[in-house]
A and B are shown apart, each in its own frame.
Chain A
Amino acid sequence: MNNVWNADRANTIIGQFRTVRGGLLPALHALQHHFGYVDDAAIPLLADAFNQTGADIYGVLTYYHDFKRARPGRHTIKVCRAEACQSMGSEQLLDDIKKRLNVDVGGKTLDGEFSLEQVFCLGNCALPPSIMMDETLHGRITIDQVESLCRKVRS
């Protein structure tokens, strides 16, 4: 996660998917998993590996909400904004998180610690509101619990 961009490493990662059918998405996921985002410098490498134009790769990369093109924070907080979570105050929760962490949706905190994202449903709709911190789901969450979670992962 969040390794410094390295073209050789990127090529090795991409190479694992070159012969996989429909391998571009898995390759993008793998790059993002390793580097935390997909560097623009990966586009020609991907184009070469998958025998597509750079524009094709760019089109795919930018189509999907998941793929990031700039280095995110060390931790990512995804706040669910879909209906079930709305019914239990997720809009307010998101507002509070923005205020307390001083960050906007799509942005990261000044110290580079947290990225804030909105998502539509985390599959935890019976225990709303929900957030995901990195890959861990939290249900029935309050702003105070979000803050203590942030403290915990920071230390």
Chain B
Amino acid sequence: MNAITIYVPIDSAARSVGADDVAEVIQTEAAKRGIEIKLVRNGTRGMLWLEPLVEVATPAGRIAYGPVTVNDVAGLFKADFLKGSPHHLSRGLTDQIPWLKSQERLTFARLGITDPLNPDDYVAHGGLAGLIKALPLSPAAIVAEVAESGLRGRGGAGFPAGIKWKTVHDAVADEKFVCCNADEGDSGTFADRMVMEDDPFMLIEGMTIAAIATGATQGYIYVRSEYPQAKLHLEKAIAIALDHKWLGDNILGSGHRFHLDVRVGAGAYVCGEETAMLESLEGKRGIVRDKPPIPALVGLWGKPTLVNNVLTLASVPVILAKGAAFYKNYGVGKSLGTQAFQLAGNIKQGGLVEKSFGVSLDELINGYGGGTHTGRPIRAVQVGGPLGSYVPAHQLTIAADYETLTSIGAIMGHGGIVVFDDTVDMARQAHFAMEFCAEESCGKCTPCRIGSTRGVEVMNHIIAGTKVPENLKLLDELCEIMATGSLCAMGGLTPLPVRSAMTHFPEDFHKHPPATQRVA
């Protein structure tokens, strides 16, 4: 009898809730019963609320069971889960789970299906198709395809990728770089991590295409230090890619040369700002540079440098493989393609939802997310990371695309959506926004450095109920100074969460003694 294949994710979110132990107990239990199994550590499917999600390969397809704990394993064997038999944890055919089936997984097409570090798996599931399409094209034609797709930077600012690529392509220099921004510091986001841990070859392929298009020969992936497993998988994947000539001096025999190194950040949120990241890559303090000059012209060590987010670069292979016309069929207006929405915080069914831009926040949060984890009413949702606005529950009907979010004073950011229930104290959230800015400011400009520290003090007074109207006025003035006088979005956007909390939840700023944060 052929060994039955069982999948247990190796993604660090799955491991954070016990996937390693589950994998081990499955092995032991199978051995005990004299059953031969093949255990594959796949990536996560992105249904994080079902992790650890165990899948069994059956003639009908992969059948999912989750969330599985070590105590469930013996019962699963008893119920004959190796044949895909019913069990109270059974979710049926994985592909047919509505949460997954209704998504538009273009970039994340392979997520959780493959073993992240198996190059054959990668190719068998559509990997390399983009690079193979790109190789015979001229660099200018590759740039044109990316521009035509409408792809915008996924790191936060939403800048058109094609324009940036063209700038680097057109720049004349003896050396150019491609730098992948994998600093993913926003709370509520983990899609970059998933790319790096669960489908690292895709990022390598995207960067290689970017390098060929722009004329870069050296690339760096700047990974935050909080992601040790992403670093490990990238390093292993790069070594494998070199072996297969997907990277190196003669990429797939084309004569193109591109080398890639992983660099690890050191716990500074602001190093996600692209020029601070470049400083850090150069081995300096991660302080934001003045612009101009833009990095596309004067970047790493003064050379033209393409800086893109992980998701931007990871979207490139599918765009090349299937064509710009295919990609821009998805999305709305100027927000084309799909976005990796990340459902986080107090949410019942959190995880990764890749959908066309324009899906409503309500569909994401209540549809996919199933409401709060605690079962209490939603009160506020922070969209777009720590520098993003708090959106009140009654505004959730709006569409999640760049333009619509901007129209209500919110931002898309990196696609993170953090849900809070009705126990949240929004004055404390405003306090935190200031505290975070004070903690993470690079210190270059006064409004950000001093303003945030003052902001913390002012919020302390407000929470203590001291001279509230005066302090609220002061807070608003501080926000104004920070918003208009900061060099980068750290100081410039910190007022967004603060002001949105003040605007939508004024009652929280007027209660004393303050409510204490809910205990989970």
Contacts and interface: CB of A to CB of B under 8 A. Distances in A.
B184 interface: yes
Contact of B432 (A60, A86, A138): A86
Given A87-B421, A121-B226, A63 B345 contact: no
Interface in A29-87: 29, 50, 59-60, 63-67, 78, 82-87
A142 B519 CA distance: 11
Given A24-B283, A124-B13, A89 B267 contact: no
B330 interface: no
Given A28-B266, A121-B185, A123-B189, A64 B519 contact: no
Contacts of A23: 283
Given A25-B264, A83-B187, A87-B346, A123 B12 contact: yes
Interface string B174-200: 000000000011111110110000000
B467 to A, nearest CB: 25
A139 B480 CA distance: 38
Contacts of A78: 226
A122 interface: yes
Given A91-B517, A120-B440, A139-B17, A66 B266 contact: yes
A53 B281 CA distance: 19
Nearest to A141: B16
B350 interface: yes
Given A50-B283, A120-B440, A125 B517 contact: no
Contacts of A83: 187-188, 345, 382, 386, 418, 429, 432
A70 B67 CA distance: 41
Interface in A125-145: 125-130, 132, 135-140, 142
A64 B286 contact: yes
A3 interface: no
B51 interface: yes
Interface of A is mostly: loop
A99 interface: no
A106 interface: no
Contacts of A86: 429, 432, 517
B225 interface: yes
B45 to A, nearest CB: 12
B185 A120 contact: yes
Nearest to B351: A126
Contacts of B280: 25
Interface string B117-128: 000000000000
Interface residues of B, number: 63
Nearest to A17: B283
B520 A92 contact: yes
A65 B301 CA distance: 24
Given A125-B350, A126-B49, A64 B283 contact: no
Nearest to B372: A87
B314 interface: no
Contact of A135 (B13, B228, B440, B520): B228
Contacts of A126: 13, 48-49, 190, 342-344, 347, 350-351
A139 B342 CA distance: 16
A124 B12 contact: yes
B16 A125 contact: no
B267 A125 contact: no
Contacts of B382: 83
A64 to B, nearest CB: 4
A127 B265 CA distance: 24
A85 B345 CA distance: 6
B491 interface: no
A26 B343 CA distance: 33
Given A21-B301, A125-B345, A89 B266 contact: no
A88 interface: yes
Given A121-B186, A126-B13, A22 B418 contact: no
A127 B48 contact: yes
Contacts of A84: 187-188, 344-345, 416, 418
A80 to B, nearest CB: 8
A85 B17 contact: no
B159 to A, nearest CB: 23
B153 to A, nearest CB: 20
Contacts of B12: 123-124, 137
Contacts of A120: 185, 187, 269, 386, 436, 439-440
A132 B228 CA distance: 11
Nearest to A93: B520
Given A24-B283, A139-B17, A66 B267 contact: yes
B246 to A, nearest CB: 23
Interface in B487-520: 517-520
A82 B437 CA distance: 12
A110 interface: no
Interface in B378-429: 382, 386, 416, 418-421, 424, 429
B256 interface: no
Contacts of B186: 121
Nearest to B51: A127
Given A60-B283, A123-B193, A127-B16, A26 B264 contact: yes
Nearest to B192: A123
Nearest to B352: A126
Contacts of B477: none
A130 B16 contact: yes
B518 A89 contact: yes
Interface in B1-50: 12-13, 15-17, 48-49
Contacts of B88: none
Contacts of A29: 225, 264, 266
A81 to B, nearest CB: 8
B373 interface: yes
A136 B19 CA distance: 12
Given A126-B190, A138-B17, 18 more contacts: A24-B283, A24-B284, A25-B263, A60-B283, A64-B268, A66-B266, A83-B187, A86-B517, A88-B520, A91-B517, A120-B436, A124-B190, A125-B187, A125-B188, A125-B344, A125-B350, A125-B418, A137-B15
6 contacts: A25-B266, A83-B418, A87-B419, A125-B188, A125-B416, A126-B350
